[in-house]
Amino acid sequence: MALNYKESKLVKDTIPALRQHGEHISTVFYKTMLRDHPELHNYFNTVNMHTGKQPRALTALILAFASNIVNISELTPKLERVAQKHASLNIQPEHYEIVGKYLLRAFSAVLGPAMTTDVKLAWTKAYWVMAKMLTGREAHIYREFESWKGWRKFIISSKKNETLEGNIVSFTLKPIDGQPLPNFMPGQYVTLRITVPGMKYAQLRQYSLSDAPSYDHYRITVKRDLGSNWDYAGSRDESLTVSSAASSASDSSIGSVQPCRPGVVSNSLIDEFHEGDTIELTHPSGSFYLNPSMDNSMPLVLISAGICVAPLLSMLNTVVEKRINRPVSWIQASRHDAPFQAHIDSVAKRLPNMRTKFFKSRLSDSDVLSYTSSFDNDFLSLTPDDLYLRNGSSEYYICGPEKFMYQAADHLRKNGVKPERVQFEIFSVGSFEMKHD
């Protein structure tokens, strides 16, 4: 089904015009699609629908795919993230039919006479090349889920503050059906679904699992959103189908009394959900994880900032529970109280080959998007031993705001760490990647 030379050229020749009008494409696409298929609102992050984050990500993904149509391997990591996100949301092949129809209609509206019959056929083929890759991968993921199909009800068995301020809270969740939970890779996430008063549609967000796998419970850790521009709870926006309407869409089209208030799900969980209440989850997913079954004794370096400690804590707890004999370096930045610091300190006392480094009161008030020069200096002051730079096989897992991850990656690269030894958890729109020389 690959495009021939003529078709590839027709697609590539129209990319500049489509990229120039990307915002308009998203506006036309989503407003039309959601008008005709309002049921799709139940798959969307309402806040990101109004900010326009996800439509921009969708357009960028499709145009990036088309630009690399003859070298798709360059996009493999990004497509894997998309497939994992779709699987966590139970996206089905029929959704691709809907998206393709309205997307190509939007392309035609932008290109006008330039959208000839041949160009439309070429773009249709390009879209379905990508769609078939994603649906094929997603079908494989669904098979791995085995008997867990769709949504599963859980009860909140405990709720615990992880900081003195009470702005970070952990929820222990047990399945109502009492059946054993499947294993997951430490670092993966679940999609959570709740009903929020004043919101017309169900609200879905992704949360990293913050503890080692257990057969009878999962744990997620949630941060209160006071109005920052970066929402950990639902910011994995690289989804093809699960995207957003244009920021100009009316409130009535989304069905929310306060559609743009920050942290609508995270804050609702912290304020309104208590022990004994129920929520719904899908099967754990995600491409950012530590494989505990691999026979590996190389140093493990875990670097996090703020609430992004959650998936790395799952990795660390798994190392402890499975008695994996690996040197560990734990590096954590936070604005005030470092969540889980007492637990980390306790683990470090039991593991003679573990070192820790905490940076406090360095991040800005947003705790995610920016940080001061003093934090830069703190990070750059880490010794080669702190980062196990003298070991050419050390593995690095980094989770934090994009700027934080970029600086960490750049520092590692400058010190000779190869990109393939560094993994990132990407929550923000777009595709942050470690830069290569």
Angstrom distance (rounded) from CA 66 to CA 19: 11
Amino acid 60 reads A
Give yes or no: 138 in active site. Answer: yes
What angle in degrees, to the nearest 10, is found between the helix axes of 22-36 and 53-67? 110
| Tokens coding 111 | 């290109």
**Which stretch of DSSP H or E encloses residue 312?**
helix 309-321
Give yes or no: 232 in active site. Answer: no
Q: What is residue 268's three-state secondary structure?
A: helix
Catalytic residue among 7, 30, 43, 96: 96
How many alpha carbons lie under 13 Å from residue 259 in its C-beta half-sphere?
Answer: 24
N residues, the chain: 437
How many alpha carbons lie under 13 Å from residue 393 in its C-beta half-sphere?
Answer: 6
Q: Are 390 and 374 in contact (CB under 8 A)?
A: no
What angle in degrees, to the nearest 10, is found between the helix axes of 93-111 and 5-20? 70
Helices (H), strands (E): how many in the chain? 13, 11
Catalytic residue among 30, 102, 138, 201: 138
Angstrom distance (rounded) from CA 290 to CA 243: 28
Q: Which residue has the tokens 């560094």?
A: 422
Looking only at the bridges linking them, the beta strands covering 218-223 and 278-281 are: unpaired
Q: What is residue 56's three-state secondary structure?
A: helix
Give catalytic residue positions: 96, 138
